[in-house]
């Protein structure tokens, strides 16, 4: 444990050496909130031409609008100056290409333990799920109609976003 993170702490010291955002506030300066997948091929700020301080970002497996994502969006809209929301699942997402049984089997094999009790929020039809997720945001009683909400698919092989709703 003592040295498990030394490489990252060293990198952090270099980062902090030129850090110049002390005292910066926590609102979304570009008015943007993003819900997207945990996938390591997605760099949310870069893909939208944004930078530090511009956006609120909520990530989970699949980039789904869960209860906690809605919690983040309500806070973002009312307290953190968010006025546009992008929901962004992506191509070749494990959550949309495997079944629940397959994921449980693969995790169970890796763990050497029973994983059949572990919930995984798998997606059968990614486009239908995205429409549902965007509708959840748009119809939330605490998210005003003035908030723009879009659903997009990010192509991890081209870097392009396609707006689907
Ligand atoms: Zn994914």
Considering all CA atoms of the chain, what is the largest pairwise distance in Å, rounded to the nearest integer? Answer: 50
pLDDT digits (tens, 9 = 90+) for 36-75: 999 999 999 999 999 999 999 999 999 999 999 999 999 9
Strands 161-163 and 148-154: antiparallel
pLDDT at 2 over 90: no
Q: How much distance in Å is there from the Cα of 93 to the middle of ligand 1?
A: 4
**Degrees, nearest 5: CA angle 70-73-79:** 135
Phi/psi of residue 84, nearest 5 degrees: -135, 135
Centre of ligand 1 from the C-alpha of residue 7, in Å: 27
Name the H helices within 21-147: 44-47, 67-79, 94-97, 100-111, 126-138
Please state whether 53 falls in left (phi above 0), alpha (psi between -120 and 50) or beta: left
Mean pLDDT of 121-132: 96
In which band, very low, low, confident or very high, does the pLDDT at 14 lie, cut at 50, 70 and 90?
very high
Domains of the chain with CATH codes: 22-163 (3.40.1050.10)
pLDDT for res 1: 75
C-alpha of residue 127 to centroid of ligand 1, in Å: 14
Mean pLDDT of 13-29: 95
The residue count of the chain comes to 165
DSSP bridge partners of 67: none
In the reported structure, the alpha carbon of residue 95 is separated from the centroid of ligand 1 by a whole-number distance in angstroms of 6
pTM: 0.95
**Residue 60 β-bridge partners:** 37
């Amino acid at each position: 444990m003592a040295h498990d993170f030394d490489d990252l702490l060293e990198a952090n010291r270099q980062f902090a050496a030129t850090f110049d955002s002390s005292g910066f506030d926590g609102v979304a300066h570009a008015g943007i909130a993003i819900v997207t997948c945990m996938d390591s091929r997605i760099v949310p700020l870069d893909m939208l031409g944004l930078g530090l301080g511009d956006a609120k970002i909520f990530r989970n497996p699949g980039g789904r609008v869960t209860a906690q994502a809605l919690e983040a969006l309500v806070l973002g809209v009312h307290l953190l100056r968010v006025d546009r929301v992008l929901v962004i699942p992506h191509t070749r997402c494990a959550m949309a290409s495997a079944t629940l049984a397959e994921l449980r089997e693969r995790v169970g094999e890796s763990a050497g333990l029973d994983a059949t009790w572990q919930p995984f929020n798998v997606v059968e039809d990614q486009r239908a799920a995205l429409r549902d997720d965007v509708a959840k945001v748009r119809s939330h009683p605490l998210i005003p109609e003035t908030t723009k909400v879009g659903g997009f698919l990010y192509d991890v092989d081209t870097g392009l976003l396609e707006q689907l709703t």
